[in-house]
Structure 1
Amino acid sequence: MKIDERHLVQLAAVVQAGGVTEGAAFLGLAQPAVSRTISMLEKRVGEPLFVKGKRPLQPTPLGRALAEHGSTMLAAGRKASDTIESFRVGNSGIVRVGGTPFFMDALIAPMIAEFQTRHPDVRVDLTYGYFPDLRTALHADQIDLAICPIDILDEGSGLTFQQILPGRNVIACSVTHPLLLKRRPQPSHLLDYPWIAPPPGSPLMSDLRGMLLSFGATEIKIRYSGGSLMSVVNYLKTSQALTIMPHSVVFALRNDKSITALPVTIPHPERALGLLKRADALRVPAIDQFARYIGASFDDLKSLIKRHEQSVVWGM
């Protein structure tokens, strides 16, 4: 025997509300229509669904059993409505984010955690990569959003770029490095120490080469390479090695008091950190919420980062 699911939902509403009028009001239906549904359902099953003469209405054992099935569908309908509304306002969904390792680990990961305290039903899937790989992943619909530094975005790339932080590199070292004892370290002093190479594929690698060549180096004394941000920091703080880092990463690690920036102004390319998306991407509210949160977080940080730069790099 096939039963119309809508009839079971109306039966469940009447049982839960204790009356046809109340059940109809709960569902936003007219009372006569719900009364007809109950009568039709009783004729269909050939058994009474409510005990006659009882007020509030009291379901028979069969009525109660059928109402339980209707309650399951009623709850599923409510949950579906809640899901739709939550998705529509950006409080649920999945955000697939790709980004460059140092920035993601030092700056973006804490922001993701803060974002999810406000939007706990939004899942964030994180992958690492540099601009060429992230661009490919965006076009292949493998990620929704990339957070990375780029020099220039070619016209016709099919991507949009929102700058969130101007580029600025510094020389990072341990807080006990001998060069910090010099009042004004000179570029030539940097060549007396070994270096940690940035991760392979990182634009920082070309920045390091260009910087050291501008200082007159004929070769680069690489002591360590290929490490994660944590391994580079741990290596720096227990050695006299130097490395090149985005200033914002050093800023993010300032409270650890393990590494700092040398007070040496170095050349750096015109590069900015920003949010990269496909221009033709479907609008997903959770992704929009996340992008706005990251942008607002960097707006709050910009002045702090600038003051830190003036204090640590130029003020020493």
Structure 2
Amino acid sequence: MYIDPNHLRILAAIVDSGGLSEGAAALNKSQPSLSRTVAMLESRLGSRLFEKGIRPLRPTELCLSLAEQGRVIGQASEAARIAAELYSGGKAGTARIAGTPIFMDGVISYMIASFQSAFPDVAIQQSYGYFAELSEQLKTGNIDLAICPMRGDDIPEELSFEPILRGRNVIACAPSHPLARKSTFRLEDIAQYPWIAPPAGSPLYADLKNALEIVGITDFRVSFTGGSLAAILRIMSGSDALTVLPYSVVFMQRPSNMVTALPVKLEHPDRQLGLLWRNDRPVRPAVSRFQKFLKGEFSGLADRIDVRGREAVWRR
């Protein structure tokens, strides 16, 4: 026998509230409508739900059993309502993101931690890649959002790009490096030290070569190539190696005191770090919230980088 789940919820409200009038008030319904529902149920079931002639209402054993199921239905309904509101508000769900390794590990990971502290029910699925791979992943729908440095004229027609931080590179080293401990040094002094080179296919590798050529270093020794940001930082901490990194990455590592930027003004790349997504598909609420969160975080970061950079890095 099929019993309408709403009728079970009505029985639970009557039992829990202590009467028809009280149950009607709890459900925002009229008392006569609840009376009709109870009478209809008793007729279908062929059994009384409340003892006859007893006031206040006394539920029968069957009524108590059905009311218990009504409570379960009510709890499930409330849980479903909350789940739907969380999802539609971007406070629950999944965001699949990907980006260039140095930026993801050196900057975005800190922001993901802050985001998930505020929105713990949003699951972040993160992967790595450079533009060619990221754009393909977006086109096939394997990721929702890419975070990578781009030039505005390189954006495919089916993708949208929103800049969040302009490109700025610095020569980075460990705080214990001999050059970091000098109050002044000549650019020629840089040439004697080995270099850590980013992966050959990354935009940062081209930036390293261009930066060294601009400061007059055409013959340089590479002691380590590729690796994660964690590996680069550890190698620098135990050696006199130098590398070129985005200043935003160096800036975010300040609490760890593992890396610093030499006060050498480089020519910055003509790229901007930005958000990349498909413009022909709806953005899920959790992705939209994460995207908005990143834009707010980078807005504040850009201002702090400007101040710190003028004071400590781009002085010559």
When the two structures are superposed, what TM-score results if normalisation uses the length of structure 2?
0.92
Q: What's the counterpart of residue 233 of structure 1?
A: 233
Asked if residue 57 in structure 1 is aligned to residue 57 in structure 2, the reply is yes
Amino acid at match of 2:208: L
* Change beyond 3 A, Cα 1:56–1:309: farther
Q: Assess if the C-alpha contact under 8 Å between 2:13 and 2:27 holds in 1.
A: yes
**Cα distance between partner residues in 1 of 2:29 and 2:17:** 14
Q: What's the counterpart of residue 167 of structure 2?
A: 167
- CA deviations on 1:264-306 (whole Å, 9 max, x unpaired) are 1222320111111211231322222211111111111222111
Q: What's the counterpart of residue 281 of structure 2?
A: 281
Q: What's the counterpart of residue 251 of structure 1?
A: 251
**Cα distance between partner residues in 1 of 2:154 and 2:193:** 38
**Cα distance between partner residues in 1 of 2:110 and 2:2:** 54
Q: What's the counterpart of residue 270 of structure 1?
A: 270
SS in 1 for 2:96: strand
**Cα distance between partner residues in 2 of 1:92 and 1:250:** 32
SS in 1 for 2:180: helix
Q: What's the counterpart of residue 205 of structure 1?
A: 205
Q: What's the counterpart of residue 119 of structure 2?
A: 119
Q: Assess if the C-alpha contact under 8 Å between 2:158 and 2:278 holds in 1.
A: yes
* TM-fit CA distance, 1:249: 0.5
When the two structures are superposed, what TM-score results if normalisation uses the length of structure 1?
0.92
Q: RMSD of the TM alignment (CA)?
A: 2.1
* TM-fit CA distance, 1:172: 0.5
* TM-fit CA distance, 1:187: 3.9
Q: Kindly, what percent of the aligned residue pairs are identical?
A: 45
Q: How many residue pairs are counted as aligned between the two chains?
A: 316
Q: Assess if the C-alpha contact under 8 Å between 1:163 and 1:272 holds in 2.
A: yes
Asked if residue 295 in structure 1 is aligned to residue 264 in structure 2, the reply is no
Q: Assess if the C-alpha contact under 8 Å between 1:171 and 1:242 holds in 2.
A: yes
**Cα distance between partner residues in 2 of 1:213 and 1:274:** 27
Q: Assess if the C-alpha contact under 8 Å between 1:15 and 1:67 holds in 2.
A: yes
* TM-fit CA distance, 1:240: 0.5
* TM-fit CA distance, 1:211: 2.6
**Cα distance between partner residues in 1 of 2:310 and 2:200:** 30
Amino acid at match of 1:138: L
**Cα distance between partner residues in 2 of 1:107 and 1:271:** 17
Amino acid at match of 1:299: S
**Cα distance between partner residues in 1 of 2:159 and 2:144:** 11
* TM-fit CA distance, 1:57: 2.8
* TM-fit CA distance, 1:212: 2.9
User: Mapping of 1:93-242 within 5 angstroms?
Assistant: 93-154=93-154, 157-242=157-242
* Change beyond 3 A, Cα 1:55–1:147: farther
**Cα distance between partner residues in 2 of 1:106 and 1:52:** 73
Q: Assess if the C-alpha contact under 8 Å between 2:9 and 2:73 holds in 1.
A: yes
* TM-fit CA distance, 1:58: 2.7
- CA deviations on 1:75-117 (whole Å, 9 max, x unpaired) are 1111111122222222222111112222122221121221222
* Change beyond 3 A, Cα 1:173–1:155: closer
Q: Assess if the C-alpha contact under 8 Å between 1:106 and 1:249 holds in 2.
A: yes
- CA deviations on 1:10-55 (whole Å, 9 max, x unpaired) are 2222222222233233333333222212111112221111223444
**Cα distance between partner residues in 2 of 1:161 and 1:56:** 67
* Change beyond 3 A, Cα 1:154–1:39: same
Q: Assess if the C-alpha contact under 8 Å between 1:151 and 1:272 holds in 2.
A: yes
Amino acid at match of 1:236: M
SS in 1 for 2:192: coil
Q: Assess if the C-alpha contact under 8 Å between 1:199 and 1:228 holds in 2.
A: no
Q: Assess if the C-alpha contact under 8 Å between 1:170 and 1:246 holds in 2.
A: yes
* TM-fit CA distance, 1:215: 4.6
**Cα distance between partner residues in 1 of 2:136 and 2:200:** 18
Q: What's the counterpart of residue 70 of structure 2?
A: 70
* TM-fit CA distance, 1:179: 2.2
* Change beyond 3 A, Cα 1:274–1:155: closer
* TM-fit CA distance, 1:241: 0.4
Amino acid at match of 1:81: R
* TM-fit CA distance, 1:71: 1.4
Q: Assess if the C-alpha contact under 8 Å between 2:197 and 2:224 holds in 1.
A: yes
* Change beyond 3 A, Cα 1:247–1:52: same
SS in 2 for 1:162: strand
Amino acid at match of 2:262: L
Amino acid at match of 2:250: V
Amino acid at match of 1:72: V
**Cα distance between partner residues in 2 of 1:241 and 1:120:** 39
* TM-fit CA distance, 1:220: 4.2
Q: Assess if the C-alpha contact under 8 Å between 1:199 and 1:226 holds in 2.
A: yes
